[in-house]
Chains A and B, each alone.
Chain A
């Protein structure tokens, strides 16, 4: 019976490469991650007027610093100070900065949110994989709750339902 299960599994594995039309560069190379998994967004409210946003970046992937943009609703976001990235020379765009592993940034709000108020954090990012592919600008969204003034920072919330380009 176990061998039948194994045969079924092998059957599924054998069929697998034929199903996703193009999911990897070529045989022997690791399959590429969808952008929402390569660049995992999470956010939390540090206090009623500050949101902390975090990207966890998978090994072998990087984000462009200048391609990050944030919007918060209903309390609008102020100007974000982006931490310096690693400088990389680009033949067409000149020096560009990239982030790897993780990047954490603070998004100041233009006014304090009310305790318990829901905030929608929208983040646009654009990145690439070292194997030689780039993803189009990727919008992601996460909902967080404003903590009471003086209370501890809220917990990180992962972008739950990844919102890709056409899904």
Chain B
């Protein structure tokens, strides 16, 4: 009886260690796979023209899932505008994916002088964000893809300075 309990305990510990190992191993291949999946996405811009994320391959791509009905999303976006202006020439490209309607997206984009592309994902974009690790389907959700097409960061909630700058500069330094 006692022996069996110990065996079970050991098995659980072993499984846990295995799970941890698998998670670490998994994350490397997941970064590649999810980056590739994201770069395969094609969504319409507010004018209705399809835009492939692959056109920004080779850049440090910051994909931000947002909506006008999400106040924290709107609050963080002016920082993205500033970062795009400061780092765009160095190889950073922000792209917004709006879980929203075109009219609202256009109105807000004009209001804050958005200087990077926004694609219209509608509620279907929530599913895409879930596939990228946003298990709660909450917004804002940001995925940063490095120059080699690997997911380098996944972040739920507002990205704040100086964290954002630190991450972006770190990725720009990497070959």
* A133 in contact with B154 (CB, 8 Å): no
Residue tally, chain A, CB below 8 Å to B = 38
**Docked pose: A23 CA to B23 CA in angstroms:** 15
Q: A8 near B2 (CB under 8 angstroms)?
A: no
Whose C-beta in chain A lies nearest to the C-beta of B160?
A132
Instruction: State whether B135 touches A134 (Cβ < 8 A).
Output: no
Number of chain B interface residues as a range: 35 or more
Interface contact A133-B12, CB-CB below 8 Å: no
Chain B residues, CB < 8 A from A93: 68
A interface: dominant SS: loop
Contact of A133 with B156 in the complex, beta carbons under 8 Å? yes
- Residue among B139, B140, B154, B158 making CB contact with A136, cutoff 8 Å: B139
Per the bound structure, the CA–CA distance linking A58 and B73 in Å amounts to 21
In the bound complex, residues from chain B placing their C-beta under 8 Å from that of A126 are 69
| Known contacts A18-B27, A20-B135; is-contact A12 B154 (Cβ 8 Å) | no
Show the binding face of A for B, using Cβ within 8 Å: 1, 4-5, 7-8, 11-12, 14-15, 18-26, 32, 34-35, 67, 90-93, 126, 128-129, 131-136, 164-166
Closest 5 CB pairs of A and B: A21-B133, A11-B16, A18-B23, A15-B20, A134-B70
